Each structure stands twice: as structure tokens, then as C-alpha cells.
């Protein structure tokens, strides 16, 4: 599995790729969302009947709903992670904030975040090799690029079981929220 994220001069790029036995089974590239955001703002401007209070209540209700769904599937997700064996893990980042002082602070924070995540992974997965972690500060540039590569294995039957359980939890929570009345 390869995840590649890059940010430069206000635009970002995300690529996710999954290979099984050398065959690419999933490949997705995501480009900047700023264009889509601009379109939604212009549609809101064109529709003067949009009420911010109702929209805010709806967003709050949706956020609470998503937290409930995530909370309900978290134990199954952690159980699945405990069955994973990681065989190779590398995570490289290039970071620049155009100012040496803030770039240095951000690089230090990046090291802390990366090693906190590695410690969490080590405590939850079955097997974890020595990882390759790198942060390269670019002191005179405004640039962010991070690439994570991971080779891991798990039993297919356990994955199918956990996916079915998660889908049942998600669809059950979604159906409950659809049937709930909207308070205005």
C-alpha cells in the first residue's frame, strides 16, 4: 500500500495505491478540493433561502452521527488491526514553511507525531519490523510532501468477517438516522 500526499503553493495532491502480489488492485488520485469548495459557495450565494442556523444544526447532527458510527466500529477495527503483521514500513516527508524557525519547529513536531503513531502501531499489530522514518526540512521553500509505504498481511477470512460486521453497524446506524425526525 502506498499513500503519497503533496502540498505546494496552495495546491495539494493525494494518491492511494494498493498492490496485491504485484498487481495493482486499487489506484485513486485526488486533486485539490478548492475548486469544489468554490462551486458550493457560489451555489449558496445563488440560493438566498439557505438558512445558516438549520445548516449548522444539520452539520452538528451529522457530525454526532458519524462519531457514533465510528465509536461503534472501533472495537472491531482494533481487533482486526491486532491480527495484522507488518513486514515493511517506510514513511518519508519533505517539509518547508519558507521560514527556517517555523520549518524547524514543524519538523520536530513531525518527528513526534510520526513516532507516536509508530508506537501506537507497535502496541496494536501482531508484528512490526524496524521502520524507515525520515523528515527532510526544506528551509527556503514552502512545500509539503509525504509518502508512506507499507507491506502487511492478514487472513482474508478475518478481513471479510470484520468488513461484514462494520457494514452491518454502519448501515444500521445510517438507517436509524434516516428515520429520525429533523428538529428545526
Pairing of strands 132-137, 85-97: parallel
| Residue matched to cell numbers 446506524 | 173
Exposure letters 53-85 (e unless 16+ CB within 10 A, then b)? eeeeeeeeeeeeeeeebeeebeeeeeebbeebe
Q: What are the Cα distances from residue 177, in Å, to 41, 75, 76, 173, 182?
A: 27, 21, 21, 6, 10
pLDDT band of residue 150 (cuts 50, 70, 90) is confident
pLDDT of residue 104: 92
Give 13-45 pLDDT, tens digit per residue. 788 888 877 788 888 887 764 444 444 444 444
Does the pLDDT of residue 112 top 90, yes or no?
yes
Mean pLDDT of all residues in 177-182: 49
pLDDT of residue 134: 94
If you average pLDDT over each of 5-19, 132-146, 156-170, which comes out highest?
132-146
Kindly tell me the burial class for residue 107, based on how many C-beta atoms sit within 10 Å of its own C-beta (0-12, 13-18, 19 or more): buried
Give 50-84 pLDDT, tens digit per residue. 455 566 677 778 878 878 877 877 888 888 888 88
Question: Is-above-0.95 flag for pTM?
Answer: no
pLDDT of residue 57: 77
Amino acid at each position: 500500500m502506498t499513500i503519497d500526499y503533496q502540498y505546494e503553493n496552495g495546491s495539494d495532491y493525494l494518491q492511494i495505491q494498493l498492490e496485491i502480489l504485484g498487481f495493482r488492485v486499487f489506484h485513486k488520485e485526488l486533486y485539490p478540493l478548492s475548486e469544489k469548495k468554490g462551486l458550493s459557495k457560489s451555489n449558496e450565494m445563488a440560493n438566498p433561502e439557505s438558512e445558516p442556523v438549520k445548516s449548522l444544526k444539520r452539520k452538528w447532527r451529522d457530525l454526532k452521527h458519524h462519531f457514533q458510527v465510528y465509536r461503534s466500529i472501533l472495537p472491531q477495527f482494533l481487533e482486526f488491526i491486532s491480527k495484522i503483521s507488518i513486514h515493511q514500513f517506510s514513511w518519508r516527508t519533505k517539509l518547508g514553511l519558507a521560514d527556517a524557525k517555523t520549518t524547524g519547529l514543524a519538523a520536530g513536531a513531525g518527528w513526534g507525531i510520526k513516532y507516536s503513531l509508530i508506537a501506537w502501531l507497535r502496541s496494536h499489530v501482531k508484528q512490526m519490523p524496524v521502520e524507515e522514518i525520515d523528515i527532510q526540512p526544506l528551509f527556503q521553500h514552502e512545500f509539503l510532501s509525504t509518502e508512506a509505504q507499507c507491506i502487511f498481511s492478514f487472513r482474508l477470512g478475518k478481513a471479510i468477517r470484520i468488513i461484514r460486521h462494520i457494514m452491518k453497524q454502519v448501515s444500521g446506524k445510517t438507517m436509524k438516522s434516516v428515520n429520525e425526525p429533523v428538529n428545526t
